[in-house]
Structure 1
Amino acid sequence: MHIDFIGQYPYTVDSKNRINIPSRFRKKLSEAGISTMVITRGIDDPCILVYPEPFWQDMTRKLSEKLSSIKQTHRLFLRQITRFAAECPLDSQGRIILTPALMDYAGITRDIMIVGTLNKIELWDPETLESFEQSHSLSEEDFTTLANDILL
């Protein structure tokens, strides 16, 4: 299965901590027969990651195969990824509910920027995203090197 989420979309969180998944993304999910998403903390970015459930299952299967429960760093990594994860079924309006813990982690209160990053979606507080990108920008040299290594 292949779904590409691209683009960015400004939205607002409603009073019940729900957000609308952009219609372009919902269409792709519907065509793939996906009605549940999994949300969790960004790995090292202050955002919420949103995975279509089959992609989440794929990732957790790979983690189970590659990580050892004997190694502490593996356990810590796995715990950080799964501890705050929550399954979120899409409601009839194409919305998901965000957990208070994840909203706190990402600094999301009302405004939100929904960013497609190919196989997953990132949810950001718009000011945090702008600040993060200013302090973590990819140099032109690094961009060119990656483009040459990956695309050519």
Structure 2
Amino acid sequence: MLQFLGNIEAKIDAKARIFVPAAFRKILQSSAQNTLILRKDIFQDCLVLYPLQVWDDEVAKLRSRLNRWDKEQQALFRQFVVDAERLEMDANGRILIPKRYCQMIGVTSDVRFLGVDNTIEIWNNDSLEQTLIDADAFSSRIQALMNNDPQND
């Protein structure tokens, strides 16, 4: 199972190429996952890199919850997949991010890669800090969530 963990700063070049951080690249290469699917996050102004197998699993899960013969549900599915782009890591571990994706999240140079379970997020360096929860609020929410979990008894 793929699991990414880390918060790594990086720079994107003028041609919108960027090196996948070595820690993440090692996990991808050891699992023979050189194909990545790029999509803008549904909720935040960041990009999400899905290893191909993770993407295939997510699409199958979404498809299983939707009725192909329901107009609204088909529109939801279409919008989810139409905003995706297939990327291949080159021999040096770089990917080329299409310019429209950089524009979507306002990336010009400095980015942050975040390992988030089985995906990798790419954030505009300045935007990430604005989305993080205050430390006290975070600890309170985690405490409330975990106190409501019967497995923690």
- Structure 1, unpaired ranges of 5+: none
Q: What is the rounded CA distance, in whole Å, between the counterparts of 2:48 and 2:39 in structure 1?
A: 5
Corresponding residue number in structure 2 for 1:88 = 87
User: Are 2:62 and 1:63 equivalent residues in the alignment?
Assistant: yes
- Structure 2, unpaired ranges of 5+: none
1:7 aligned counterpart, secondary structure: strand
Compute the RMSD of aligned alpha carbons. Answer: 2.0
Corresponding residue number in structure 1 for 2:23 = 24
Identify, as 1 or 2, the structure richer in strand.
2
Given the two structures, how large is their TM-score scaled by the length of structure 2? 0.88
Q: What is the rounded CA distance, in whole Å, between the counterparts of 2:45 and 2:86 in structure 1?
A: 20
Q: What is the rounded CA distance, in whole Å, between the counterparts of 1:41 and 1:125 in structure 2?
A: 12
2:117 aligned counterpart, secondary structure: coil
Structure 1 stretches of at least 4 aligned residues deviating more than 6 Å after TM superposition? none
Q: Which amino acid aligns with 2:102?
A: M
- The count of corresponding residues between Structure 1 and Structure 2 is 149
User: Cα–Cα, structure 1 residues 116 and 27, in superposed 2: closer, same or farther, change >3 Å?
Assistant: same
Q: What is the rounded CA distance, in whole Å, between the counterparts of 2:150 and 2:7 in structure 1?
A: 23
Q: What is the rounded CA distance, in whole Å, between the counterparts of 1:64 and 1:105 in structure 2?
A: 26
Q: What is the rounded CA distance, in whole Å, between the counterparts of 1:120 and 1:102 in structure 2?
A: 17
Q: What is the rounded CA distance, in whole Å, between the counterparts of 1:24 and 1:132 in structure 2?
A: 24
Matches within 5 A, 1:3-152: 3-69=2-68, 70-72=70-72, 74-133=73-132, 139-148=138-147, 149=149, 152=152
1:143 aligned counterpart, secondary structure: helix
Q: What is the rounded CA distance, in whole Å, between the counterparts of 1:5 and 1:23 in structure 2?
A: 11
Task: Using the aligned pairs only, state the percent identity.
Answer: 28
Which protein is bigger by CA-based radius of gyration?
2
Q: Which amino acid aligns with 1:47?
A: C
User: Cα–Cα, structure 1 residues 132 and 14, in superposed 2: closer, same or farther, change >3 Å?
Assistant: same
